[in-house]
Structure 1
Amino acid sequence: MNAKPLLFLSLLTLPCIADAMTLAQAEAALREKNPDILAARIELRGAQGDLFDAARRPPAELSMGSSKISRQQGIGAGPWKDKRVDSTLGLGWTWERGGKRHLRVDGAQARGEAARLDLLDQQREQVFALHEAYFGLKAAQQSLQMADDNRAGSARALAAAERQLATGAIAPIERNRLAVEDMKAEAEARQARQELLDAQTGLALLIGSTQPPEQLQADDPWPQSGVAAELPQDFDPALRADLQAAAARVHAADAERRLARSQRHRDVQLGVEMEREPTDIGGVTWGFSVSVPLAGPDHYRGQILRAEADYDAAVLEQQRSGQLARAQLRQAGGQLEAAGTRLRHYEQRIAPAARQALDGMELAYRRGAASLTDLLDARRTWREAEQERVQALLEHAVALARWQALVALPSPQGT
């Protein structure tokens, strides 16, 4: 067979080349394409549009009409000025009382500020989710690498056992045990490969990537374990975006409450009218009108009660958000300290001890001083220690990202 078709088929069977991505690149893609951040930007645009509506004054009303059109006599002969028709042209205005326009604008501005802060808070939350997904992918990459190395080592050990069995150097039971371990290693490698694909898919969805998820690869190193959970000197929890947004919603609810109360100040309708009636008074006559709604003192009671309830709910939500923020800080600080301690314990004690035990057991097995069972147990213990060390790295990276997200404060004009 020609070598060119074989080369072409071999290229088709190669896996996709992974695209190494730094955490900074992932954050840039997140801010540009993350669906939740895009939705928050759209909500901000809508709130800005509400401000224009709130600032608009009631428009003037133009009215035109004709009356006294007789079915028997008609409208009369001659030009329009000689017709027997009473024609009117009116212009009306609404005089808003009680500062309604100012209160509408105040509430809309507060809601717009809350939407802007919600966007900043959404960015903060999504950056934390990105760190969690990014380092989850890195952990999956390392787990797959360990699984593939274990699979390759198991295959080599099984091949060597086949040769030794043929020469009678080992018993069939030892070869069978190695075959079982090889099948377990193969299953673990398949599971690790699926977990890697899941992690790649999760990261791709988070950053809005359109390329195949299989091409994503986390390239940044693990965070250092010596970071302490200490608050910055100028840190004020009330300046966090979510708490500022809660305060802005209280302001907006207060404006809505005052707007509902202002309904008690009745708006006045003012009008001026121009009338021409040829059969009564020659020429054009003028008139004016004033109208006031005759509403009782309890007419707006329902709106006021609803606005009062919304205000109380906003205040309660603000208090709850503050309590939750303080609890989250305490919890995240403890988790970061615990994760750092656990990581150092694995890196400095457990993992090196497991590696030394495995090296010693392999040497003893080669010299005939240890059984195959002892060797397999040592290998299993080392793999478990390595997997737990990777898990400790992931837990520390996530705990650090959560702490940094909770103490992050928005820039004054940031969006």
Structure 2
Amino acid sequence: MNKYINIILALAFLSVGTQLSAQVLDPSFAYKNIDYATFVSLVGKNNLAYSAEKFNVDIAEAEILQARVFPDPELSFEASDNGQRRMKMGYGFASELSWTVELGGKRHARMDVAKGQVQLTQLLLEDYFRNLRADATLAYLTALQNKMLLDVQQTSYEQMKKLSEADSIRYGLGSISQVDARQSKLEASTMLNEVFAAEAEWKSSLADLSTLLGDDQIDFLWNPTGDLKGLGRDFVLSELIGDAKVNRADLQAALQQKNLSSSLLKLAKANRAIDLGLSLGMDYASYVNNVIAPTPSMTTVKVGVSVPLKFSNKHPAEVRSAQWGILQAEKEHKQTTLVIQSEVTQAYHGYRAAQKQVAQFETGLLTDAQAILDGKIYSYQRGESSLLELLDAQRTYIEVQQNYYVTRYNCAAALVELERAVGIWDINF
């Protein structure tokens, strides 16, 4: 009788839903929790790549200042001395101020191009953040998923460890064979290795978060909080495509590229206009004391206008290049529109499929796997099933749990990709 009582006490540790806190993880590993809203906010403020992209706007704005600049005037000085000291031929000085007057609206056209480039750069920066925010969210979700998979592995290991300890007692009591006891111990050791691998994967995903945050400290890593539930959305595909055409910054950038190409054409035409060169000068010649031809000193003031001969206008390469650029921008705008429509459609159907997969797990798979494992444990306790049958049921249950978390991650990731494609954002968890 005592023999069976000891067996029952040993098997009492086997409860699938039990949460055990064994110290199998690295106790020296330090991390701090961070919620999603704080994480995204810090990414927008501290991400180094995004900060570098912001300088493109500053650079483009500086180009506006450069476009406003008028041509610089030129000031020249000359001195002459014929070197005939014995004949007293004298010396002279000359100075001239010249300036190019731009005609044809060149300055205004340059400023329009520079302003258009600023708007284009701002839209590209906005599109960069759209992708950065989505990528950062996927990294956050990956870290959450890896932590959940680690918890599954750790819980499964603890259950297997308890089973191994119980089988050691049962072997000592003569209830099972030595092979079964060793099999239980081997399974526990194998699961422990899987825990270590899952732990490394989790830590690696936390390191990715630090990179996105621009955080170079090494004392701890940031650990995301939250879960993968509550991210369900209902969408209408036609409305999403319409929203994408309004919200996508890259589509707006393609439209702005068309406007910029038009400004470049105006600048090319303006550059064909003839500029005028204005000059104002003064010459001074000293006394010539030569006895044969003495000459008094003389100061001469001169004003001049120069007109360039624009033979280069016979070859309007710049204008033609700008005209082709407009046509190219129009095609690229249409292509971007089609690509966005395709991206939204694909992301929508991917998200719908992921939702169905999650529902499949939540309406039967998890419950069935739990019931099967509980039944196998009960049968094993009564000696009606073998250890291999129990281990097979346990592996199936672990696999179902892991697949469930992976499917929930895929569903959340599909939502991120859908909202990235549409250019909307309401994700929070």
TM-score normalised over the length of structure 2: 0.84
1:248 aligns with 2:268: no
Measure how far apart 1:309 and its partner are: 4.2
User: What is the SS of the residue equivalent to 2:272?
Assistant: coil
Mapped contact 1:239–1:409 kept (Cα < 8 A):
yes
Alpha-carbon shift at residue 19 of structure 1 (Å): 0.7
* 1:265 is the counterpart of 2:273: yes
Maintained 8 Å contact 2:57/2:122: yes
How far is the alpha carbon of 1:124 from its aligned partner?
1.0
SS of equivalent to 2:311: coil
Q: Aligned in 2, Cα 1:216/1:174: closer, same or farther, shift over 3 Å?
A: same
Name the counterpart of 2:114. 108
Q: Which one is further off, 111-120 or 240-249?
A: 240-249
**Pick from 141, 155, 158: which aligns with 1:135?**
141
Task: For residue 307 of structure 1, report the CA deviation from its aligned partner.
Answer: 3.4
Question: Is the CA contact 1:350–1:385 (under 8 Å) kept in the aligned structure 2?
Answer: yes
1:109-154 deviations in Å (ceiling 9; x for gaps): 1111111111111111111001100010000001111111112222
**CA distance in structure 2 between the partners assigned to 1:272 and 1:262 by the alignment:** 26
* Per-residue deviation, 1:298: 5.0
Deviating more after overlay: 359-368 vs 20-29: 359-368
Distance 1:138 1:214, change over 3 A: farther
By how many angstroms is 1:304 displaced?
Answer: 3.5
Letter in 2 for 1:217: N
Q: SS state of the match for residue 146, structure 2?
A: helix
Report the CA distance shift for 1:108/1:281 in structure 2 as closer, same or farther (over 3 A).
farther
| Aligned residues with identical type, % of pairs | 23
Task: Name the counterpart of 2:343.
Answer: 328
Amino acid at match of 1:245: A
Partner of 1:303: 318
Q: Give the SS at the match of 2:281.
A: strand
| Deviation (angstroms), 1:305 | 4.2
CA displacement, residues 309-342 of structure 1 (integer Å, 9 cap, x when unaligned)? 4444433332222211111111111111111111
Match of 1:358 among 373, 385, 392: 373
Provide the C-alpha distance between the structure 2 equivalents of 1:192 and 1:65, rounded to a whole number of angstroms.
82
Asked if structure 2 preserves the Cα contact closer than 8 Å seen for 1:65 and 1:89, the reply is yes
Q: CA deviation at 1:52?
A: 0.7
Q: CA deviation at 1:213?
A: 8.4
Counterpart code for 2:305: V
Match of 1:28 among 36, 41, 53: 41
**Cα distance in structure 1, aligned partners of 2:220 and 2:192:** 20
The gaps in structure 1 that reach 5 residues or longer are 1-9, 77-82, 411-415
Residue 343 of structure 1 corresponds to which residue in structure 2? 358
| Residues 40, 115 of structure 1: 8 Å contact kept | no
- 8 A contact 2:244–2:421 mirrored in 1: no
Question: Aligned partners of 1:106, 1:263: CA distance in 2, in Å?
Answer: 14
Deviations 1:11-31 (A, max 9, x none): xx8323321110111111101
Q: CA deviation at 1:174?
A: 1.1
2:190 is equivalent to residue 184 of structure 1: yes
Provide, for residues 233-269 of structure 1, a one-character-per-residue CA deviation record: whole Å limited to 9, x for no partner: 9836144211111222222222223322333212221
Aligned to 1:391: 406
- 1:206 paired to 2:206: no
3-state SS, counterpart of residue 14 of structure 1? coil
For these two proteins, the number of residue pairs brought into alignment is 392
The one of 351, 361, 385 equivalent to 1:370 is: 385
- State which drifts further: 98-107 or 134-143: 98-107
Aligned partners of 1:365 and 1:372 also within 8 Å: yes
Q: Say whether residues 1:95 and 2:101 are aligned partners.
A: yes
Q: Secondary structure at the match of 2:243?
A: coil
Is 1:70 aligned to residue 82 of structure 2? yes
Give yes or no for contact 1:204–1:213 (8 Å, CA) kept in 2. Answer: no
For residues 247-302 of structure 1, the C-alpha deviation after alignment (integer angstroms, 9 at most, x for no partner) is 22222222223322333212221111122223467553221222222232556544
Partner of 1:156: 162
Q: Secondary structure at the match of 1:170?
A: coil
Pair 1:277-2:285 in alignment:
yes
CA distance, structure 1, for counterparts of residue 371 and residue 150 of structure 2: 23
> How far does the alpha carbon of each residue in 1:55-99 deviate from its partner, in whole angstroms, 9 at most, with x for none?
1111222222223x11122897xxxxxx93332222212111221
Report the TM-score, using the length of structure 1 for normalisation: 0.87
Q: Contact between 1:120 and 1:241, CA under 8 Å: does it hold in 2?
A: yes
Distance of 1:223 and 1:160 partners within structure 2: 36
Q: Which 10-residue stretch deviates more, 108-117 or 203-212?
A: 203-212
Q: How far apart are the structure 2 equivalents of 1:350 and 1:41?
A: 48
Distance 1:50 1:29, change over 3 A: same
Gap change, CA 1:70 and 1:283, over 3 Å in 2:
closer
Give 2:147's aligned amino acid. Answer: Q
Equivalent residues of 2:92, 2:285 under 8 A apart: yes
- Residue 79 of structure 1 corresponds to none
Does the 8 Å CA contact 1:268/1:291 hold for their aligned counterparts?
A: yes
Contact residue 229 and residue 403 of structure 1 kept, 8 A: no
Q: Is contact 2:76-2:95 (8 Å) kept? A: yes
Structure 1 residue matching 2:232: 3-state secondary structure: coil
Task: Report the CA distance between 1:232 and its aligned residue.
Answer: 6.5
**Contact 1:264–1:300 at 8 Å: present in 2 too?**
no
Change (3 A) 1:71 1:148: same
2:241/2:344 contact within 8 Å kept: no
Among 217, 225, 242, which residue is 2:223 paired with?
217
Give structure 2 stretches of 5+ with no counterpart.
1-22, 288-294
Distance in 1 (CA, whole Å) between partners of 2:424 and 2:70 is 38
CA change 1:75–1:154 in 2 (3 A) is farther
